[in-house]
Structure 1
Amino acid sequence: MTPCVGGLVYDVHGRLLLVRRANEPGRGRWSVPGGRVEAGEDDAAAVVREMREETGLHVTPGRLIGRVVRGPYGIADYACTVVGGALRAGDDALDARWCSAADLAALPLVDGLVETLDAWGALPR
């Protein structure tokens, strides 16, 4: 199983930060920003790097929200706090934006995202 991380970030309005994936799996669909943990990295370092690369934001990772397995990927999703940067779509993202609960209903999302967020009590407002 390939270890991966994701970052859950909310703005002051309770909207969740999502990226539109540029690569498989889930190319063209919206998901939580994140990716593979590289050799020599711990989860915290991977979350910081992936968030910066995909969204332009500098974050401080917090508590583990939950874990999920998607195919060959074991993903650990962490609560994150933005400490700098400016939102922009980065290297593995076609787009990045803050999403409300209504947005989630209208966007093409990666499989299982809403159900997983709901189970974790992590849906946006």
Structure 2
Amino acid sequence: MTSPSADRSSREYPDRPWVGVGAVVWRGDRVLLIRRGKAPRLGQWSLPGGAQSVGETVFETAVREVREETGLEIVPTGIVTVVDAITPDAEGRVHYHYTLVEVAAESAEGDPVCADDALEACWATADEAGELTEWDETRRVILMSAAQRLAQRSAQESPGRR
């Protein structure tokens, strides 16, 4: 059920899920967080990201969104997971519905400079990110990405062992 005033292409009360791409950007043992400047989760610490554009790959979306929100250049390294972000309104109707593809990435240099949808940005350890973020899924994705990075490093350090 949609809002009577809902536009079929609107992100609020949509008639279909929107594809969003989140970027789990690492520099050493720190992950990039932004404070969201738009709903949903306005004002909360989160991963940078946004809606995928037509004709754009998931990795291209991650690169563009991080650049737009923080000015940083990233190199995507893989897919972490996919998250369903469904936000109901007070009457239980779907206010927002995003299918979020979470992309792991590395950033070698530069300081984040907030723009677009980001109010603030910071680098945090996984533990610090767990304390800053409010949405359980954000914490889960960061920990999952950290575990994947550790497993990849271990595999690279001991080739031939399985």
Secondary structure of the residue aligned to 2:74 is strand
2:146 aligns to what? 122
Secondary structure at the counterpart of residue 112 of structure 1:
helix
Any conservation in 2 of the 1:59–1:84 contact (CA below 8 Å)? no
Maintained 8 Å contact 2:126/2:142: no
Name the TM-score, length of structure 1 as normaliser.
0.85
What does residue 23 of structure 1 align with? 38
Structure number with larger C-alpha Rg: 2
1:9 aligns with 25
Q: Do the aligned partners of 2:72 and 2:111 also contact (CA within 8 Å) in 1?
A: yes
Higher relative contact order (CA 8 A, sep 6+): 1
- Once residues 24 and 77 of structure 2 are traced to their aligned partners in structure 1, the CA distance between those partners, rounded to angstroms, is 10
- Structure having the higher strand fraction is 1
Residues 4, 74 of structure 1: 8 Å contact kept: yes
| Match of residue 117, structure 2, among 88, 92, 96 | 92
The percent of aligned pairs where both chains have the same amino acid is 34
User: Which structure shows the bigger proportion of residues in helix conformation?
Assistant: 2
Number of residues of Structure 1 aligned to a counterpart in Structure 2: 121
TM-score by length of 2: 0.67
Cα RMSD between the aligned structures?
A: 1.9
Gaps of 5+ in 1: none
What are structure 2's unaligned runs of at least 5 residues?
Answer: 1-16, 87-96, 148-162
Map of 1:33 onto structure 2? 48
Q: Give the direction of change, closer, same or farther, for the CA distance of 1:56–1:116 in structure 2 (3 Å limit).
A: same
